[in-house]
Structure 1
Amino acid sequence: MIAVMMAALMSSLTSIFNSSSTLFTMDIWKKYRAYASERELLLVGRIVTVILVVISVAWIPILQSANSGQLYVYIQSVTSYLAPPVTAVFSLAIFWTRTNEQVTIHFSPKRIHDSWFYS
């Protein structure tokens, strides 16, 4: 049973690291280095993955000290800060046909600020 749980954890973490490094490499790095070679993009992706792993490992003591080590409570508090802005932008896109990328980019930070400020 422990092996199954460890395999699921490893699968989730590799998916997160792979997706995050791909987002950074293709959306940020490639924007500033339009003619980057495949080798350069691969190297940047690997470096970003290592940085994410280091940040994740460094974050463990902070998680253990917050909420006396209750990871579930921490995850729920983070979700409670991020869910209202996402819901507001989603609802705005459904009910207002003029919603575009610029509206969501300007609207989201305000909603995140409001959810942190008023909670």
Structure 2
Amino acid sequence: MDADGYIRITGRTKDVIIRGGENIPVVEVEELLYQHPDVSAAAIVGMPDERLGERACCFLILSAGATLSFEEMIEYLLSKGLTKTYLPERLEIVSEMPRTPSGKIQKFHLRETLQR
């Protein structure tokens, strides 16, 4: 927020989920998830919702042998000070995520899987 009270969103517009008029800064939530000792990769994408426009879905790759339930993820994020309005509504544990040749997660492919 700047001195005049305006919020400027930088980065990619798809890295912000708009849920019922509330902007959810995806990168902030992902950064917290990367701090979890059992998380090796994280991506949050918007999934369509008729009433709210979008809801947040979290895709995680866990370290070998690790487990993490939806409830444990929520508890962890809250313990790190994340506001409740930014919490994901769904968790998908995956073994791999689609990536570009340079290693960046291709979130549009993750969004496509939620459309099916």
User: Is the radius of gyration larger for structure 1 or structure 2?
Assistant: 1
- How high is the TM-score relative to the length of structure 2? 0.23
Higher strand proportion (structure 1 or 2): 2
Q: Which one has more relative contact order, counting CA pairs under 8 Å at least 6 apart?
A: 2
Higher helix proportion (structure 1 or 2): 1
